[in-house]
């Protein structure tokens, strides 16, 4: 894996999902209207604050399907799932709101907000500032910014929009250049994704290379490929503060027990 020196628009699955996100943005309506709605929505609990712990925090995800794995749990009740995750000790929840290939919706975010006091991450393909206000209006504490989808300039624009909307940004990266762009945009929460969202392939070495490079003042999250307690222990040794677990928890017949099996792994001081 080598860092890029300049950004090119994404192709493959990520490019397709970005295009669909832009189509949804086109019918969202006036940004000022969404800004007013966001301003009238009570702020959620701090996402970053929930990751301040002596143990590796578990961010549990509500995900019905995905482009890489197909159907996972299409009949999932987001309200019930969120409640079970929270009761079992999840530090925060990730709610997929992308409808076309993940089966998510903003209603899932809204109902999860009603069923739990955990901070919620809106996980979607965010490409326009209006989506940050939309996320806040539906109860999100944080929103995902995929740096590969945005490039350095739009990453900064979206980071500024998140601040204005009152949501925290989780910057997702996969190489050195994206790490630099995220830090330049003021990142305080960075997720490292093993999955290449263009090819949908899992790539070894990404988390091992990048997590140790994330500054100690930034929360580091390991994403994709985490399903067991040994997985959590492995990324903890690299300096991960948290893990985001999607598919393994979404298909678990007992979601509460599945979360309980992952929590309590001590954090490493390797990045301190």
- Residue 270: per-residue pLDDT: 84
pLDDT bucket at 76, cuts 50 / 70 / 90: confident
By C-alpha distance, which of 102, 51, 58 is closest to 78?
102
pLDDT bucket at 193, cuts 50 / 70 / 90: very high
C-alpha distances out from residue 106 to 9, 96, 139, 177, Å: 26, 8, 9, 31
- Among residues of the chain, what percentage have pLDDT more than 70? 98
SS3 content of the chain, % helix, strand, coil (to 5): 40, 20, 40
pLDDT tens profile 122-158? 999 999 999 999 999 999 999 999 999 999 999 999 9
Q: Which of 73, 94, 115, 224 is catalytic?
A: 224
Separation of alpha carbons 216 and 212, rounded Å: 9
- Tell me the pLDDT of the chain averaged across its residues: 94
CB hemisphere CA count around 3 (13 angstroms): 12
pLDDT tens profile 11-55? 999 999 999 999 999 999 999 999 999 999 999 999 999 999 999
CB hemisphere CA count around 243 (13 angstroms): 32
3 pLDDT above the threshold of 60: no
Say which residue the tokens 């630099």 belong to. 180
Q: Is 32 buried (19+), middle (13-18) or exposed (0-12) by CB count in 10 A?
A: exposed
61 is catalytic: yes
- Residue 5: per-residue pLDDT: 55
151: phi then psi, degrees, rounded to nearest 5:
80, 170
Q: Which of 73, 123, 134, 227 is catalytic?
A: 123
Beta bridge partners of 92: 59
- Residue 1: per-residue pLDDT: 45
Strands (E), 40-154: 57-62, 65-66, 70-71, 92-96, 120-123, 142-146
- As given in the structure block, the two tokens for residue 19 are 């295009």
As a whole number, mean pLDDT of residues 174-179 equals 96
Separation of alpha carbons 63 and 74, rounded Å: 8
63 is catalytic: yes
- Residue 107: per-residue pLDDT: 95
Tell me the three state secondary structure of residue 168: strand
Q: Which of 61, 98, 110, 178 is catalytic?
A: 61
pLDDT tens profile 234-251? 999 999 999 999 889 988
Separation of alpha carbons 16 and 83, rounded Å: 32
187 pLDDT above the threshold of 70: yes
- Residue 153: per-residue pLDDT: 96
Tell me the three state secondary structure of residue 11: coil
2 pLDDT above the threshold of 50: no
224 is catalytic: yes
pLDDT bucket at 220, cuts 50 / 70 / 90: very high
Q: Over the range 116-144, which residues count as b (16 or more CB within 10 Å of their CB) and which as e?
A: bebbbbbbbbbbbbbbbbbbbbbbbbbbb
268 is catalytic: no
- Residue 4: per-residue pLDDT: 52
- As given in the structure block, the two tokens for residue 102 are 């993940």
- Among residues of the chain, what percentage have pLDDT more than 90? 88
Strands 57-62 and 70-71 turn out to be: unpaired
Q: Which of 57, 73, 193, 196 is catalytic?
A: 193
223 is catalytic: yes
Q: Is 77 buried (19+), middle (13-18) or exposed (0-12) by CB count in 10 A?
A: middle
Q: Which of 63, 98, 134, 247 is catalytic?
A: 63
**Of the segments 62-66, 101-105, 218-222, which one has the largest average pLDDT value?**
218-222
- Residue 69: per-residue pLDDT: 82
Q: Which of 110, 134, 168, 172 is catalytic?
A: 172
């Amino acid at each position: 894996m080598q860092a890029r020196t300049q950004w090119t628009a994404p192709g493959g699955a990520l490019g397709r999902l970005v295009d669909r996100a832009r189509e949804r943005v086109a019918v969202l309506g006036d940004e000022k209207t969404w800004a007013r709605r966001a301003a009238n929505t009570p702020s959620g609990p701090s996402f970053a604050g929930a990751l301040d712990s002596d143990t590796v925090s578990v961010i549990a995800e509500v995900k019905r399907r995905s482009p890489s794995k197909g159907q996972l749990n299409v009949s999932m009740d987001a309200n019930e799932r969120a409640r079970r995750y929270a009761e079992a000790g999840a530090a925060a929840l990730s709610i997929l709101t992308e409808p076309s290939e993940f089966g998510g919706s903003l209603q899932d975010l809204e109902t999860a907000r009603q069923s739990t006091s955990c901070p919620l991450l809106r996980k979607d393909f965010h490409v326009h500032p209006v989506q940050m206000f939309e996320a806040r209006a539906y109860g999100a504490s944080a929103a995902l910014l995929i740096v590969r989808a945005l490039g350095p300039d739009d990453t900064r624009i979206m980071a500024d929009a998140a601040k204005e909307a009152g949501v925290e940004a989780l910057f997702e990266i996969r190489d050195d250049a994206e790490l630099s762009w995220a830090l330049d945009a003021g990142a305080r929460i960075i997720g490292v994704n093993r999955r290449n969202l263009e090819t949908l392939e899992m790539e070894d070495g990404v988390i091992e290379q990048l997590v140790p490079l994330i500054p100690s003042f930034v929360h580091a999250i390991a994403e994709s490929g985490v399903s067991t307690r040994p997985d959590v222990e492995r990324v903890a040794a690299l300096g991960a503060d948290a893990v985001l677990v999607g598919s393994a928890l979404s298909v678990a017949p007992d979601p509460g027990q599945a979360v309980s099996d992952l929590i309590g792994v001590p954090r490493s001081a390797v990045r301190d």
